[in-house]
């Protein structure tokens, strides 16, 4: 079992990873790009509103693999837990939100992006499961963009207070 690392750049160099070796990471908001994701999630909140601080934990496993169909590819599996606040769509009161996501992506070499089987594909079967499909360019995979996209697929776009709104100032 490999040592869990606490540092991961938002983009990773694919050839850096040895074939079939799983690298494990555990990141939190002290990682600059994780903090940037949290700041973006809460950017619509009123600066004067009081609410508990946001938090995010990302546990990731990254491994490089190769086979005749997918060629040289990177597998990223991650568990993301976060809590943050979004403003109510009616009264702007900051409402607590939570996400608990299991994520999986395969990054294929950019030369495969134009192949007919991948032109309109958004998922691919790799490493024994269906995964989100991404491509790495010039040997670099954008992990942050993958995580960012998966968060925003799951976030409630316009949350609302249950029942009566909590911010009477606007009514």
In this prediction, the residues of the chain whose per-residue pLDDT falls under 70 are 1-2, 169-171
Supply the pLDDT for residue 1: 52
Which H/E stretch holds residue 124? strand 123-126
Quick: pLDDT tens for 74-105: 999 999 999 999 999 988 889 999 999 999 99
- Other C-beta atoms closer than 10 Å to the C-beta of 27 total 21
List strands edge to edge, sheet with 94-109.
Answer: 4-5, 23-27, 55-67, 71-87, 94-109, 129-136, 123-126
- Other C-beta atoms closer than 10 Å to the C-beta of 77 total 19
Supply the pLDDT for residue 171: 52
Q: Give the three-state DSSP class for 44.
A: coil
Cα separations in angstroms, 87 against 33, 149, 154:
23, 20, 16
Cβ-count burial 159-171 (b if 16+ within 10 Å, e if not): beeeeebebeeee
Cα separations in angstroms, 2 against 5, 63, 155, 157:
9, 12, 32, 38
Query: Which residues on neighbouring strands pair with residue 24, listed in sequence order?
Result: 4, 61
Query: Which residues on neighbouring strands pair with residue 129, listed in sequence order?
Result: 126
Supply the pLDDT for residue 163: 87
Cβ contacts of 43 within 8 Å, gap of 6 or more: none
């Amino acid at each position: 079992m490999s040592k869990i690392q606490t540092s991961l750049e938002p983009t990773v160099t694919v050839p850096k990873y040895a074939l079939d070796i799983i690298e494990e990471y555990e990141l939190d908001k002290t990682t600059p790009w994780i903090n940037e994701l949290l700041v973006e999630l809460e950017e619509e909140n009123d600066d004067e509103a009081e609410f508990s601080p946001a938090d995010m934990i990302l546990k990731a496993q990254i491994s490089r693999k190769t086979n005749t169909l997918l060629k040289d590819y990177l597998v990223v599996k991650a568990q993301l837990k976060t809590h943050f606040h979004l403003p109510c769509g009616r009264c702007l009161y900051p409402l607590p939100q939570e996400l608990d996501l299991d994520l999986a992506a395969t990054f294929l070499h950019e030369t495969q992006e134009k192949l007919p089987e991948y032109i309109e594909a958004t998922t691919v079967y790799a490493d024994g499961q269906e995964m989100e499909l991404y491509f790495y360019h010039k040997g670099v995979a954008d992990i942050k963009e993958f995580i960012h996209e998966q968060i925003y697929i799951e976030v409630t776009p316009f949350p609302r207070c249950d029942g009566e709104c909590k911010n009477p100032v606007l009514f």
